[in-house]
């Protein structure tokens, strides 16, 4: 049955895929668990207002990372295993140079944002200045991780994840003992951990896969392919941020930094589930791309649908546990009555997680068959409640309004993805 489910011709391919998926989970678990523990510790050590400032800046990190994802990471995951498979080392090196240019530009923009925010509030300014210092290191680490998956080497990515985890958690412990914990040092810690992981990954990838002459694609050609495909992913990234992440800065602007801190602290509890899907997504894109080259669009789309089915089952189990034991879990994790009083918001987050899981696999399949416009349109539909009612709901209902806005956006986005995926399957089955 598993043989049929994965569409593999041989059991050894199934075992290899499971092994790679397991290593991908180890990597994602290391990074996600580190981010989760860091958020928990920062919420406990800094207090709601300072943690809210950190959460707003972290939301900005997710926003600017959309440029890297749309122009470099996503196109590289699609074109690397297919169009540029014969010249992959040179292709990766070309993208690394482009990634460095993006990092420098974003660091400058975030520095200006930090100076502007500092004129309005010291804590928020500290957060953005810390982000400006660390963002080149963080994005470079993300690039090298994706390069590991592109080469189907999740074991190397897992080693880098372990290095990142040890460095971040170790530095946080030192800063806490020295009483240096602040939004600024929090981002410095993330940057330092990323730098340590970069050293390990670069030492292996760049040494063993150094491109020679003539094995890199023409820069203009690669740029054209990336822009044609990535412009939709870039736009979709902005829309995705509006659906999934804008609620934190929106809550900060309307309700204050303390409420933004509470929203982020509770949202953190669905992070392990979300990051687990991200782990398989990192491996799914190149795997589905390779499968497409072998069996075509129709079977690839069907495989992506099966992935979504499994994801929904996992999300249902996780969310049910989270919802029914919400107060106890929040008290256990944060140990602060301030956060426990808002534990009911996990109902919104749990339902949203299940709906998002339904779109997990099919979105990957749609991207692999080079239909990113569909992802863009679906996210645009999901943005509707944010644009039309987000401010009003948050103002009128507080955190419940912010969570309801996010839930409605996720529901509409997934419904649109399912609709278009069904049409594509039927069309290619003819």
The alpha-helical segments, DSSP class H, found in 151-182 are 154-177
Question: Can you give the pLDDT at residue 274?
Answer: 85
pLDDT digits (tens, 9 = 90+) for 117-163: 765 557 888 899 999 999 999 999 999 998 888 877 778 888 999 99
Given a cut of 90, whether residue 260 has pLDDT beyond it is yes
Query: Cα separation of 135 and 72, whole Å?
Result: 16
Question: Can you give the pLDDT at residue 214?
Answer: 47
Nearest Cα neighbor of 386 from 399, 375, 401 is 401
Range of the domain at 275: 10-429
- Give mean pLDDT, residues 392-405: 93
- Give mean pLDDT, residues 400-410: 92
Percent of the chain with pLDDT over 70: 90
Nearest Cα neighbor of 189 from 282, 64, 58 is 58
Q: Which residue has the tokens 């278009």?
A: 420
Given a cut of 60, whether residue 425 has pLDDT beyond it is yes
Question: Can you give the pLDDT at residue 402?
Answer: 92
Question: Can you give the pLDDT at residue 118?
Answer: 65
Q: What are phi and psi of 109, to 5 degrees?
A: -65, -40
Given a cut of 70, whether residue 14 has pLDDT beyond it is no
- State whether the Cα torsion 74-79-82-85 is positive or negative: negative
Q: How many CB atoms lie within 10 A of CB 17?
A: 16
Please report whether residue 128 resides in a domain.
Answer: yes
Q: Place 430 in a pLDDT band, splitting at 50, 70 and 90.
A: low
Question: Can you give the pLDDT at residue 275?
Answer: 77
Question: Can you give the pLDDT at residue 153?
Answer: 78
Please report whether residue 136 resides in a domain.
Answer: yes
Query: Cα separation of 144 and 99, whole Å?
Result: 10
Please report whether residue 5 resides in a domain.
Answer: no
Please report whether residue 2 resides in a domain.
Answer: no
Please report whether residue 420 resides in a domain.
Answer: yes
Listed range (110-114, 119-123, 241-245, 288-292) with the worst mean pLDDT? 119-123
Question: Can you give the pLDDT at residue 191?
Answer: 95
- Give mean pLDDT, residues 289-317: 84
As for how many domains the chain has, the answer is 1
pLDDT digits (tens, 9 = 90+) for 107-119: 998 888 878 776 5
Question: Can you give the pLDDT at residue 92?
Answer: 85
Given a cut of 60, whether residue 15 has pLDDT beyond it is no
Please report whether residue 3 resides in a domain.
Answer: no
Please report whether residue 245 resides in a domain.
Answer: yes
pTM of the predicted protein model: 0.83
Q: For the purposes of burial, counting CB atoms within 10 Å of the CB of 276, is it exposed (0-12), middle (13-18) or buried (19 or more)?
A: buried
Q: State the DSSP code for 71.
A: I
Maximum average pLDDT range among 178-192, 210-224, 232-246: 178-192
Please report whether residue 328 resides in a domain.
Answer: yes
Question: Can you give the pLDDT at residue 12?
Answer: 55
- Give mean pLDDT, residues 181-202: 93
Listed range (9-18, 27-36, 250-259) with the worst mean pLDDT? 9-18
Given a cut of 50, whether residue 213 has pLDDT beyond it is no
Given a cut of 90, whether residue 403 has pLDDT beyond it is yes
Question: Can you give the pLDDT at residue 6?
Answer: 44
270 with 353: CB under 8 angstroms? yes
- Give mean pLDDT, residues 8-12: 51
Q: State the DSSP code for 72.
A: I
More confident residue, 259 or 272: 259
To the nearest 10°, the Cα dihedral for 428, 224, 134, 115? -110
């Amino acid at each position: 049955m598993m043989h049929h489910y994965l569409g593999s011709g041989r059991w050894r391919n199934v075992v290899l895929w499971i092994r790679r998926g397991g290593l991908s989970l180890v990597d994602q678990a290391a990074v996600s668990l580190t981010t989760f523990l860091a958020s928990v510790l920062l919420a406990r050590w800094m207090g709601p207002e300072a943690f809210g400032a950190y959460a707003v800046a972290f939301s900005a990190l997710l926003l600017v990372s959309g440029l890297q994802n749309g122009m470099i990471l996503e196109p590289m995951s699609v074109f690397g295993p297919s169009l540029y498979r014969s010249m992959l080392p040179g292709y990766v090196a070309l993208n690394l140079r482009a990634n460095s240019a993006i990092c420098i530009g974003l660091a400058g923009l975030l520095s200006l944002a930090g100076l502007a925010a500092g004129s309005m509030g010291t804590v928020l300014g500290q957060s953005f200045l810390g982000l400006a210092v660390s963002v080149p290191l963080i994005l470079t680490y993300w690039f090298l991780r994706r390069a590991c998956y592109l080469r189907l080497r999740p074991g190397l990515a897992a080693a880098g994840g372990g290095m990142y985890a040890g460095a971040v958690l170790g530095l946080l412990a030192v800063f806490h003992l020295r009483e240096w914990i602040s939004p600024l040092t929090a981002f410095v810690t993330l940057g330092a951990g990323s730098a340590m992981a970069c050293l390990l990954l670069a030492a292996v990838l760049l040494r063993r896969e150094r491109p020679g002459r003539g094995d890199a694609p023409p820069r203009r050609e690669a740029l054209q392919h990336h822009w044609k495909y990535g412009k939709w992913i870039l736009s979709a990234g902005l829309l995705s941020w509006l659906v999934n992440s804008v609620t934190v800065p929106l809550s900060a602007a309307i309700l204050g930094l303390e409420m933004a801190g509470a929203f982020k602290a509770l949202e953190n509890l669905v992070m392990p589930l979300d990051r687990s899907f991200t782990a398989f997504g990192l491996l799914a894109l190149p795997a589905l791309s390779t499968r497409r080259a072998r069996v075509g669009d129709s079977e690839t789309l069907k495989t992506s649908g099966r992935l979504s089915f499994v994801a929904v089952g996992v999300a249902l189990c996780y969310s049910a546990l989270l919802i029914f034991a919400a107060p106890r879990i929040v008290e256990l994790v944060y140990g602060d009555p301030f956060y426990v009083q808002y534990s009911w918001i996990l109902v919104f987050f749990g339902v949203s997680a299940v709906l998002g899981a339904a779109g997990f696999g099919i979105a990957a399949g749609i991207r692999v068959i080079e239909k990113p416009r569909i992802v863009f349109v679906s996210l645009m539909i999901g943005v509707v409640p944010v644009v039309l009612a987000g401010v009003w709901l948050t103002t009128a209902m507080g955190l419940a309004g912010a969570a309801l806005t996010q839930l409605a956006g996720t529901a509409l986005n997934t419904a649109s993805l399912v609709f278009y995926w069904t049409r594509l399957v039927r069309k290619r089955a003819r």
